[in-house]
Structure 1
Amino acid sequence: MPYDPSAFPPFAVTVDLVVLTVRRHALCALVVRRGESPYQGRWALPGGFVRVDEDLEDAAARELAEETGLRVQDPGSGSVGAHLEQLATYGDPRRDPRMRVVSVAYLVLAPDLPSPTAGGDAHSVRWAQVDTLLEPGDGTEGGGDRPVPLAFDHDRILADGVERARSKIEYSSLATAFCPPEFTVGELRRVYEAVWGVALDPRNFHRKVTGTPGFLVPTGGTTTRQGGRPAQLFRAGGATLLNPPMLRPEI
């Protein structure tokens, strides 16, 4: 039986971005306030529709730049770039009130990123602590730093992205994506503490990360940027999988 495209209803494809960084020792996500309907005025993850002639990753990078002014740099360029990976695909027929829309979500991790600049169809943009964003909302603007509930199914996408980050730093070197090119063991420990939301014993942590083959490489330098005595500087090693893994403490 010949293929008949008209027998299938059309639908659109979007990309949504879970952009995570550590700011002031807290795990934060990038959110934009929508300037257009649907959900005008509601906070959402940055993202948008994929163009007809556009690759998915190109669309993700474009939407990030258009809506926030941030750019995902090429790690092969020699500069510090953000970690970008495809997270999951979301296709509930009711996830977008405009039409049938399938979203391909991406996870972006990077060191302490600058304050973003709103653009595109975003009315405003901000960093917000993940714990605040994932709190149940009541549909109204909350007090303090608490935003309105996320638009579409972005609360689910954000939760999935955060859990992906929390689980992957157990068995991979992904935690170093939150660090500058050279960092101390203390700075790396604070990344784990921010992502996992727990306090870790400094001595045990130091022993584990420096004793894991291929995880960290000494640079030969030291720093006093954290105060106190000079601390040894490291860079990420070549290992992608950690053996033994850094198991997440039970809360």
Structure 2
Amino acid sequence: MPTDEWEPPAVLLTVDLVILTLRDARLRLLLIERGVAPFRGAHALPGGFLGHLDEDIEAAARRELAEEAGLDGGALHLEQLGVYGKPGRDPRGRVVSVAYLAISPRLPDPVAGTDAAGASWHAVDDVLGGAVPLAFDHHRIVADGVERARAKLEHSALATAFCADTFTISDLQEVYEAVWGTRLDPRNFYRKVQRTEGFIVAAGPTRKTETGRPARLFRAGPRQVLHPPMVRTALTKGTDE
């Protein structure tokens, strides 16, 4: 086709955010209740259109997070998760979304704003299992984001950020179990953590557990990248590393 007859396609650009945290020993996802069409009343990821042509895409994501859920996007480390542009994903036309991921401890309750009728934390298992249906193709985006988060715990020391300043290995195991959504073998987990130099370091006195037995206390060590990684399949119950 001659170049003077070519016209660029009309494509709209949006941002979506997969924000994860731990609450009550469960991995939770931030969702908003849509207050406008399409999918009015349905649950969805926070996000929206770019505000203007000169707005940076990541800046738009942080703005939407603040406007729709009242969370300070500037305090979160957002990483680009992927680009979603399958035709028909949005009934308003050809809409391409850039999705961002953040997993962070101790996030506050969200406060709905702008075109969101509500905002709240939901158990990831309920969302992925279909108990909480999502608008658009957000189920796929959530699944991708959760898998990315689970992989991050395999390769980085991120899990220690969800523990107190000092913690037991059992406390750390609870974080992994919540994010990975599976029970781990305590013996395999203990051995793996202890073998990973610099992952955690001893923090002095012991703490009594629920059984009354003393448990050693640790704190986060200097190592940020875990090598070899904490492989999920090698740590689940019934396996022996």
TM interval, shorter chain, is 0.7 to 0.9
1:122 and 2:122 correspond: no
What residue in structure 2 maps to residue 89 of structure 1?
Answer: 83
What residue in structure 2 maps to residue 37 of structure 1?
Answer: 37
Instruction: For 1:1-251, list aligned pairs within 5 A.
Output: 7-51=7-51, 52-74=53-75, 82-136=76-130, 146-147=131-132, 149-179=133-163, 183-218=167-202, 229=214, 231-240=216-225, 242-249=226-233
CA change 1:11–1:179 in 2 (3 A) is farther
CA change 1:91–1:58 in 2 (3 A) is same
Contact conserved, 1:109 with 1:177, CA < 8 A, in 2?
no
CA change 1:11–1:248 in 2 (3 A) is same
CA change 1:227–1:16 in 2 (3 A) is farther
Which structure has the greater CA radius of gyration? 2
Structure 1 letter corresponding to 2:35? G
CA change 1:50–1:185 in 2 (3 A) is farther
Secondary structure, counterpart of 2:111 in structure 1: coil
Following superposition, the deviation at residue 206 of structure 1 comes to: 2.7
TM-score (norm 1): 0.81
| Partners of 2:138 and 2:191 in 1: CA distance | 38
Structure 1 letter corresponding to 2:98? V
CA offset digits 1:179-228 (Å, max 9, x no partner): 45554433221111011122223343233223212322445577679895
| Partners of 1:227 and 1:117 in 2: CA distance | 40
| Partners of 2:5 and 2:197 in 1: CA distance | 53
| Partners of 1:60 and 1:112 in 2: CA distance | 20
Following superposition, the deviation at residue 231 of structure 1 comes to: 4.8
Secondary structure, counterpart of 1:7 in structure 2: coil
Contact conserved, 2:202 with 2:216, CA < 8 A, in 1?
no
CA offset digits 1:51-76 (Å, max 9, x no partner): 322222211111111111112354xx
Following superposition, the deviation at residue 8 of structure 1 comes to: 0.5
- For structure 2, the 5+ residue unaligned runs are none
Following superposition, the deviation at residue 83 of structure 1 comes to: 3.7
- For structure 1, the 5+ residue unaligned runs are 75-81, 137-145
Aligned residue pair count: 233
| Partners of 1:72 and 1:236 in 2: CA distance | 27
Worse-matched range after superposition: 194-203 or 214-223: 214-223
| Partners of 1:18 and 1:56 in 2: CA distance | 15
TM-score (norm 2): 0.84
